[in-house]
Amino acid sequence: MLYEALEAQARERLPQVVFDYFAGGSGEESTLADNTAAWARLRLRPRVLRDVSSVDTTTEFLGVTLSSPVLVAPTAFHSLAHPDAELATAQGTREAGSLLVLSSRSSRRIEDVASHAGPWWFQVYVFRDRGLTRALVQRAAAAGARALVLTADTPYVGRKRRNRGDASLPLADEDFLANLEGLTHRALAEQAPDVTFADISRLSEDSGLPVLVKGVLRADDALECLHHGASGLIVSNHGGRQLDGALATADALPEVVSATAGRAPVLVDGGVRSGRDVLRALALGARAVLLGRPVLWGLATGGAAGVRQVLETLREDTAHTLALAGLSRVSAVGPDVLAPPRAP
Ligand code: FNR
């Protein structure tokens, strides 16, 4: 894997409680482990004797053009990784030609991050206080977010095996509540467990922005999201941090792609760690992937430059993989690149 050495460096540098918060998953961590294993189970069927002297990884969807089909997944509290926090993440992502999905739980203010960012989307947790949520998405729109990403798999925060909740993290109140102006107590910033499909159109109306839904693992949910106006879907199990035992994203992706039938872009995250995994995701019909933990390792070890390097390494590995598979551009990837599953 591309990021093993970097993860080891981050582990040395970070307090153990922070490393465990970043690296860990919920329950027995079975979904966390299966995310990476499921990509590896997919065998590739390379083409030969195609001119691959130049490979174009450029990717376009929902009005953005990116240097590769790799985006930065929303992750909380970057001040735990680096003093420049999300400002550094935004800068490194911009310099790599990628797109940042900024977490609702960022430790720097939306407006400050926006001034360092290239194209970015804003990830939304619907909070118990719907007025607070509306104010937040309106701020994001005013600051230049090009879309919202509604995280749908977190009515409650999953119980992590290695950590006893966010309260155990070395986070100052001003970092914890950077975006939630006027809130004096952390408990008020809890997600709403009564969030439903109706929130998709509400968020879009409140912000004037397209809404993607993140955390979809089933065809019926995908159809319901589209029915309620979603502009895109992100197949995700929150990096194995919510319902442990949930299926790996590589295993969920085909049914969501098939239900969506090209009506909206489908993205995927969870355990993507190489250009081969990017190729596998594209072959299953994803338009792009999102990268979570490796970006945190880059941030912790090298700030903005570290984030940039993590993304450029994956872009370069994706180009190399495409070439070895006989493909000279992202849009040439099709399902034929995957071998039929082996008999068990
Ligand atoms: C996350 N994730 C996440 N998702 C989200 O929608 N909002 C958030 O604030 C967070 N916070 C968060 C913190 C940390 C430390 C991690 C590791 C993850 C989930 C994230 O967006 C993504 O789904 C996974 O991280 C992708 O899996 P990999 O690439 O980390 O395996």
The one-digit pLDDT tens for each residue of the chain (344 residues) are 799 999 999 999 999 999 999 999 999 999 999 999 999 999 999 999 999 999 999 999 999 999 999 999 999 999 999 999 999 999 999 999 999 999 999 999 999 999 999 999 999 999 988 999 999 999 999 999 999 999 999 999 999 988 777 778 888 888 877 877 666 666 667 889 999 999 999 999 999 999 999 999 999 999 999 999 999 999 999 999 999 999 999 999 999 999 999 999 999 999 999 999 999 999 999 999 999 999 999 999 999 999 999 999 999 999 999 999 999 999 999 999 999 877 76
250-262 confidence digits (pLDDT tens): 999 999 999 999 9
Q: Is 217 in contact with 245 (CB distance < 8 Å)? A: no
User: Which residues are bridge partners to 216 per DSSP?
Assistant: 235
Which amino acid type is present at position 233?
Answer: L
* DSSP secondary structure of 282-317: HHTT-SEEEE-HHHHHHHHHHHHHHHHHHHHHHHHH
Best residue among 241, 242, 243, 295 to mutate for probing ligand 1's pocket (most ligand atoms within 8 Å of CB) is 241
Q: Is 216 in contact with 199 (CB distance < 8 Å)? A: no
Nearest atom within ligand 1 for CA of residue 236: 23
Q: Give distance in angstroms: CA of 21 to centre of ligand 1.
A: 11
Q: Give the residue, by CA position, lying nearest to ligand 1 atom 25.
A: 292
* DSSP secondary structure of 121-140: EEEEPPBSSHHHHHHHHHHH
Task: State how far the Cα of 143 lies from the Cα of 161, in Å rounded to an integer.
Answer: 36
* Nearest one of 222, 226, 280 to 256, comparing CA atoms: 222
User: Which residues are bridge partners to 60 per DSSP?
Assistant: 65
Q: Give the residue, by CA position, lying nearest to ligand 1 atom 11.
A: 75
Task: State how far the Cα of 276 lies from the Cα of 324, in Å rounded to an integer.
Answer: 10
Q: Give the residue, by CA position, lying nearest to ligand 1 atom 6.
A: 151
Nearest atom within ligand 1 for CA of residue 22: 15
Interface pTM, i.e. ipTM: 0.99
Residue 48: other Cβ atoms inside 10 A: 8
Rg over CA atoms, the chain: 19
CB proximity list for 52: less than 8 A, separation 6 or greater: 322, 323, 326, 327, 328
**DSSP summary character for residue 157:** P
Q: Give distance in angstroms: CA of 279 to centre of ligand 1.
A: 21
Task: State how far the Cα of 320 lies from the Cα of 135, in Å rounded to an integer.
Answer: 44
| Pocket residues: Cβ below 6 A from ligand 1 | 21-22, 35, 73-76, 103, 105, 123, 151, 214, 236, 238-239, 241, 269-272, 291-293
